Amino acid sequence: MAVLSLAERLSAIAGQAFQAEGLDVAFGRVQASDRPDLAQFQCNGALAAARQAKMNPRAIGEAVAARLREENIFADVSLAGPGFINLTLTDEYLADFAALVAGDARSGAWAKDTPETVVIDYGGPNVAKPLHVGHLRAAIIGEALKRLMRLAGDDVTGDIHLGDWGKQMGQLLMAVRDEMPDLPYFDKDFTGPYPEESPVSLDDLARLYPQASAACKADPAKNEEARRITAELQAGRPGYIALWRHFVTVSHVGLRREYDDLGVTFDLWKGESDAQPFIEPLVGLLESKDLLEESEGARIIRVAREDDSKKIPPLIMISQDGSVLYGSTDLGTIWDRKQSINPDRIIYVVDARQSQHFEQVFRASDLMGLFPEDRLEHQGFGTINGPDDKPYKTREGDALPLRVLLDQMKTGAVDRVNASLSERGYSKEELADIAAKVGMAALKFADLSNPRTTNYIFDIDKFLSFEGKTGPYLLYAAVRIKSVLERAGMAEQGSAIMITQDAERDLVLSLAAFPDAMRQAYEKRMPHILCDHAWRLAQSFSKFYTNCRIADEPDAGIKASRQVLARTTGEQLELILGTLGIEVPDRM
């Protein structure tokens, strides 16, 4: 059983007070105060209740407050403004709650009442193309959401959804043919078997793809040919399929390495191509519901609505040349997931600029009764920008390869770590390990602490700072707690918590805020709320550590309480960092 959060407990108590006044329990909702200098919690329900009951809000507030004062858990219950109820708990109540969190194997993590089966579609790299900055956010945010949802109790499958079936595949086949025309894959009359060994390496792909794509841009005839080849590939031409398989296998190796470096793992390595077997049944279903229309040789689904301010264009199911496009493969993938996983919900962590695409797919899916629109979520994200606050690009105008950015971060982290830890006498290997973790923490925390939907500027120096709201600061806090505990030792299991100073109360309140923060982060799909909590917790700890003696505290009870608080803080902080995909070194 998960620990019930303070806000949940107080909501239940305030709800009863409203009910006793003949009002709806729901008005009793309590939340953390937005004026922590005045109160710890607040309840704004009297205002809404007054509107509904056509009564004076202050009168309701007074009546509810009077009932709450009778509970012996509040140090203060007061009314503010038109009828806000401000609540401050007694230190005894807070201390007892902190003891619950301390005794909880999940450090107070929130758990969902009715967990769901969820597919998260994130990653979305394209075969034959190296990862670029745009893929970084999908990977980092998707991984964090996956871990957060699992922590809440959901059964989550993460799927990389490789881009392995689009026009770039035709372009690449064409490029290989032009360079090595004698390979058997291009001979229509050859019936196999095809060579087991790939004729192309990862480097070949990295070289050939940009070439092919540039050639198609420059020459409409080439472009047309690439489209035709793509259509033939999708139709299953054996030579093309055999060579395409090599592209995919070779790409997998490179992509796995890149995602491993990021600490990002997928349960499924499926791709757009896996949707192909579902295209025919999809078309059948669409036809039976009369949802397919011919338009300039293509077959489309109209998804616009009567009152459509967004003017969503139709989704192209089958293009003129018979090939499937991005929308059709996404629909086929929903079919596949429904059949193989039967999820309650599918979440797409993809660049916010693809919102129209997802709107088309979700509407089409709903129209044909494939999967309900309200259980398909596009959780978009903003761009990573360069110093000019425009999406990061290479000088040639392409999206910046992820490698470039990771290398910058790595170099920066090594310099930073060497500068601050060189005198500790750590081995070279350990310093390298610390630098790798510091670099990753800087990168991930910077990304995740920025609200998912907004853009941010990539600024290595800021991200790598050991001060302020950064990944390295939080690592440092987590490591310091470990070393504090090493020196001070652990208290006996079940030692009582005592609040003897402001800094202890502050730390207890921060620890206690975790379940609510986690719930909000979960419900909004916003990891930055967890980052904010981690930062608050680390700051509270720092204040606590400055003001409260631990190892040399003479009072045994107070000492034990502080040991418990330190241990609980360390555990909660590491749990959160782990959920964000951030690894903590043993020392630094």
Rule CB under 6 A: which residues touch ligand ARG?
121, 124, 126, 161, 163, 330, 348, 350
Nearer to ligand ARG, 339 or 547 (CB): 339
Provide, rounded to whole angstroms, the least separation between the CB of residue 161 and ligand ARG.
Answer: 5
What is the identity of the amino acid at 514? F
Contact 75, 67 (CB under 8 A): no
Q: What angle do CA 247, 248, 251 make, to 5 degrees?
A: 85
Provide, rounded to whole angstroms, the least separation between the CB of residue 117 and ligand ARG.
Answer: 18
* Interatomic CA distance for residues 532 and 575, integer angstroms: 14
Q: What angle do CA 348, 106, 478 make, to 5 degrees?
A: 90
Nearer to ligand ARG, 128 or 497 (CB): 128
Provide, rounded to whole angstroms, the least separation between the CB of residue 504 and ligand ARG.
Answer: 47
Nearer to ligand ARG, 121 or 143 (CB): 121
Nearer to ligand ARG, 351 or 504 (CB): 351
Provide, rounded to whole angstroms, the least separation between the CB of residue 330 and ligand ARG.
Answer: 5
Contact 509, 94 (CB under 8 A): yes
Provide, rounded to whole angstroms, the least separation between the CB of residue 362 and ligand ARG.
Answer: 11
Where is 156: in which H helix or E strand?
strand 155-159
DSSP string, 208-241: HHHHHHHHHHH-HHHHHHHHHHHHHHHHT-HHHH
Nearer to ligand ARG, 404 or 432 (CB): 404
Which residue's C-beta sits nearest to ligand ARG? 124
Q: Residue 199, preceding bond cis, omega within 30 degrees? A: no
Provide, rounded to whole angstroms, the least separation between the CB of residue 121 and ligand ARG.
Answer: 5
* Interatomic CA distance for residues 419 and 520, integer angstroms: 38
Provide, rounded to whole angstroms, the least separation between the CB of residue 162 and ligand ARG.
Answer: 7
Nearer to ligand ARG, 126 or 579 (CB): 126
Contact 248, 258 (CB under 8 A): no
Provide, rounded to whole angstroms, the least separation between the CB of residue 181 and ligand ARG.
Answer: 30
Nearer to ligand ARG, 360 or 561 (CB): 360
Nearer to ligand ARG, 223 or 329 (CB): 329
What is the identity of the amino acid at 78? S
* Interatomic CA distance for residues 527 and 517, integer angstroms: 10
Question: Is 317 strand, coil or helix?
Answer: strand
Provide, rounded to whole angstroms, the least separation between the CB of residue 386 and ligand ARG.
Answer: 20
Nearer to ligand ARG, 170 or 570 (CB): 170
Tokens 């007054």 correspond to: 50
Q: Burial code of 261-292, b = ≥16 C-beta within 10 A, e = fewer?
A: ebebebebbbbbbbbbebbeebbebbeeeebb
Distances (CA, A) of 377 to 72, 118, 149, 522: 44, 11, 14, 13
Contacts of 454 (CB under 8 A, 6+ apart): 382
Nearer to ligand ARG, 161 or 562 (CB): 161
Phi, psi of 264 (to 5 degrees): -110, 125
Provide, rounded to whole angstroms, the least separation between the CB of residue 304 and ligand ARG.
Answer: 21
Contact 163, 271 (CB under 8 A): yes
* Interatomic CA distance for residues 401 and 407, integer angstroms: 10
Provide, rounded to whole angstroms, the least separation between the CB of residue 377 and ligand ARG.
Answer: 12
DSSP 41: E
Nearer to ligand ARG, 136 or 350 (CB): 350
